[in-house]
Every structure is written in C-alpha cells, then in structure tokens.
Amino acid sequence: HSRLISIQSNARDFYLNYFLSLSRALSYSCFLQRTTYSRSQFQSRCHTYDLKVTTRYNQRIISSASSS
C-alpha cells in the first residue's frame, strides 16, 4: 500500500517538474518573442497563455494536495 502511494507521489513530482520546465520554456520563448514582435502583439499572445498555464498548474497543485 505504501509503495503505491510512493509511486503516485513520484509520478506527481515528475509531472509537476515536467510542467514547470515546460512553462519555463514557454516563458523563455515569450521572452524571445518580446524582442521580435511589437509590444502589443507580444502581450496579447504570451500573457493569455501564461495565465492559462499558471491557473491550470495551481489547480493541479491544489487538487493533488487535497487528494493526498
């Protein structure tokens, strides 16, 4: 039983780490876009995505914390 819990937590940690690195890469690409695009174009593109990612990520953390 404890082994199953450890597997679940490992998978969750892996997923959160993967998600964090993914969002980091996306924010970096947004940083690159900021230098390329005009300011208004950049903000409309990246900020909506950042909001989506962070809210989804926060919901995951909350749901995973409450479930354990």
**33-48: pLDDT as tens digits:** 666 555 555 555 555 6
Supply the range of the domain harboring residue 27.
2-67
Can you tell me the distance from the alpha carbon of 25 to that of 17, in angstroms, rounded to the nearest whole number?
A: 12
pLDDT range class, residue 62, cuts 50, 70, 90? low
Do 46 and 59 form a contact (C-beta atoms < 8 A)?
Answer: no
Q: What is the pLDDT of residues 7-35, one digit of tens each?
A: 777 787 887 778 777 777 777 776 666 66
User: pTM to 2 decimals?
Assistant: 0.33
- pLDDT, position 48: 61
Looking at the structure of the chain, the number of domains it has is: 1
